Amino acid sequence: MANSKFEYVRHFELSNTTYLLPNTYIVIRIDGRSFHRFSTVHSFTKPNDPRALSLMNAAAVSVFHDLGGEVVSIAYGVSDEFSFILRKECNLFDRREAKLVSTVVSIFTAYYVSLWPTYFPSTPLTRPLPTFDGRAVCYPTIENVRDYLSWRQADCHINNLYNTTFWALIQQGGMTPQEAEKELMGTLAKDKNEILFGRFGVNYNNEEEMFKKGSVVYRNYGAVPESSSDDKVDEKEDDLEKKEAAGKETSSPAEAQKGKSRSQQKREAKKLAKAEVVIEHVDIIKDTFWEKRPWILH
């Protein structure tokens, strides 16, 4: 049977493909579907089950490894969500939105399910099974990406202070969820801090960093030793490039501007790919984090 009769349907698909804007940071955020219910059915401790957060973090690290060294530059997770920031040079799947989003969601979900028994050894994974949604947004500048991450971390803080107080009123104060909700209506941060300290002797500052700040995942490029055997090969390439350059103007304006040869860039990319993926619970709103780790966003 000739296929040509049917092949025209392919054009429908092509004309419906979204290519994400080149040279922008792609943020893919995934979020657990109905995790309020999922967390209840699977008996998460409230307000923060550390096993569930660690499982989210492990699934996020798996996304870094699965996609390889030059795709994700940093990820930030809180509650049932994770945001993955893709490098602006990322050309995976020709930046097709559907391919990128569906692949990240699928990798994350597959690892979440397969790693479940490691983090919940005595809780079988039953229905409702964990599923996630995903979306992609492009941000053109570092400032936009930093503001995006600040937005998520500020949200983490606001929600966690609320939830910590809400659950203290229930678990230690004997209130019903309705009573706790009413008690907290219209309260400011300082009121919640006072309720926690005054009624329950809880100093919010001493709560776990993972709960207060969420989880930051990135490649610790700075910790990688300076030279390796691969570097030797790249140095040879560097020499060749230099010889070529002596004869003619070879480097593109972009390369000249960055002051890096192609092999130097390749070497750095390799080093980055080899760098260990780390999980930290630190402030990413202030400049300090970024000043100390200039390789993450550039």
Chain contacts with ligand ATP (rule: CB under 6 A): 31-36, 39, 44, 46, 48-49, 52-53, 79-80
The residue (of 33 and 266) whose beta carbon lies closer to ligand ATP is 33
Q: Identify which of residues 80 and 234 has a Cβ nearer to ligand ATP in the complex.
A: 80
Shortest reach from residue 230's CB to ligand ATP, in Å: 27
Nearest distance in Å: CB 270, Mg ion: 27
Q: Select 35 or 289, whichever has its Cβ closest to Mg ion.
A: 35
Q: Are 30 and 132 in contact (CB under 8 A)?
A: yes
Size (the chain), residues:
298
Minimal distance, residue 81 CB to Mg ion, in Å: 4
296 contact, one of ligand ATP, Mg ion, none, CB 5-8 Å limit per kind: none
Task: Give 231's Cβ-side CA count (13 Å radius).
Answer: 9
d(CA 128, CA 151): 30
Among the listed residues 217, 187, 19, 42, the one whose alpha carbon sits nearest the alpha carbon of residue 101: 19
With vertex at residue 90, the alpha carbon angle to CA 89 and CA 93, rounded to the nearest 5 degrees, is 140
Is 136 in a helix, a strand, or coil? strand
CB of 159 to Mg ion, least distance (A): 9
CA separation for the pair 230, 232 (Å, rounded): 5
Which CB sits closer to Mg ion, 80 or 234? 80
Report the partner that residue 36 touches, choosing among Mg ion, ligand ATP, none (CB closer than 5 to 8 A by kind).
ligand ATP
For residues 181 and 185, give the distance between their C-alpha atoms in angstroms, rounded to a whole number.
6
Select 54 or 220, whichever has its Cβ closest to ligand ATP.
54
Task: From the list ligand ATP, Mg ion, none, pick the one residue 234 interacts with, judged by a Cβ distance below 5 to 8 Å according to partner type.
Answer: none
Binding site for Mg ion (CB under 5 A): 31-32, 35, 79-81
- At closest approach, how far in Å is the CB of 281 from ligand ATP? 13
What does the block give as tokens for 63? 């996304």
Of ligand ATP, Mg ion, none, which one does residue 103 interact with (CB within 5 to 8 Å by kind)? Answer: none
As measured in angstroms, the least distance from the Cβ of 33 to ligand ATP is 4
Give the phi and the psi of residue 126 in degrees, each rounded to 5.
-120, 175
Partner from Mg ion, ligand ATP, none contacting 99, C-beta within 5 to 8 A by type: none
Query: 59 to each of 126, 141, 221, how far by Cα in Å?
Result: 19, 27, 21
Rounded least distance, CB 34 to Mg ion, Å: 7
CB nearer ligand ATP, residue 41 or residue 245: 41
Sheet order of strands, 215-219 included: 132-139, 25-32, 81-86, 72-78, 215-219, 277-280
**CB-nearer residue toward ligand ATP: 162 or 290:** 162
